[in-house]
A = this chain, B = another copy of it.
Amino acid sequence: MAGKKPWHTIATTRLWRSRWYNLRQDNVRIHTGAEVTYTFQEHPGAVFIVPVTVERRIALLRQYRYPVDEWLWEIPAGAVDGAESLEAAARRELAEEIGGTAKEMRYVDHFFAASSVSNLRIHVFLATGVQLRPDGSHREATELIETSEFGILETLTMARAGQIKDGQSALALLLCEPLLRDAL
C-alpha cells in the first residue's frame, strides 16, 4: 500500500502570498476516487546550520519570537532563495545571522517541518572551522538577537533536555550528534 503518489493534483490556487511562503489550496483526487480540497503552506525550503567554531564551540542565537512571546535558543537558519544552491543559502545565513564564515559546510540530512500543513523541507548543515567576526552580521532592524557560544557536549545536553525550545534547531543539533562527537 505504501507506494508513491496515491493522490493526484487536479487544480492549484494560492489563497495568500508572502515573502516567506504561500497558502496553497489544491483540488485533489484521493485514493478513494473522491475529490477533496487540501490547503497547505508552500515554502521554498529552509537551511538550518549547526556552527562549530575554530575553538570547537557551538554558536547559538537567543532570539525574541513574537508569535510565542518568548526568547528562544536557536541555530542560524533561514529560507532558501530560489536562485541559490542549498550550500550557498547556508553560507549566506551563517554570515547574515552570526557574522560567520565556515571552512567546511557539510550537508547532513533533511526533515519535514510539519508535513500535514506544509511542504517545508528543513535542510541541516554542519559548518566547521567557523570564524565569527564581531558585528559582522547583517540583521534586520526588526530582529532582537543575541549570540552565545557553548561547548559541544553542553549544547547536545541542552537539546536533549528540552532547553532549546525551537524544535527545528533542537532536532538539527541532534541529527548532527554523531558528527559533532567525531569533532570533539
**Contacts from A to B (Cβ < 8 Å):** 1-2, 4-7, 15-16, 18, 20-21, 23, 26, 28, 30-32, 34, 36, 38-41, 62, 64-72, 108-122, 141-142, 144, 146, 160, 162, 164-168, 170-171, 174-175, 177-178
Contacts and interface: CB of A to CB of B under 8 A. Distances in A.
Given A7-B64, A21-B117, A111-B165, 14 more contacts: A1-B144, A2-B62, A2-B71, A2-B146, A15-B16, A20-B117, A67-B117, A67-B118, A70-B115, A111-B162, A111-B167, A112-B167, A113-B113, A114-B120
Contacts of A160: 174-175, 177-178
Contacts of A31: 144
A74 B39 CA distance: 20
Contacts of A119: 67-68
A30 B69 CA distance: 12
Q: Copy number in this complex? A: 2
B39 A66 contact: no
A2 B70 CA distance: 9
Leading 7 A-B pairs by shortest Cβ distance:
A65-B115, A111-B167, A109-B162, A40-B67, A67-B119, A171-B171, A2-B71
A165 B117 contact: no
A131 B31 CA distance: 29
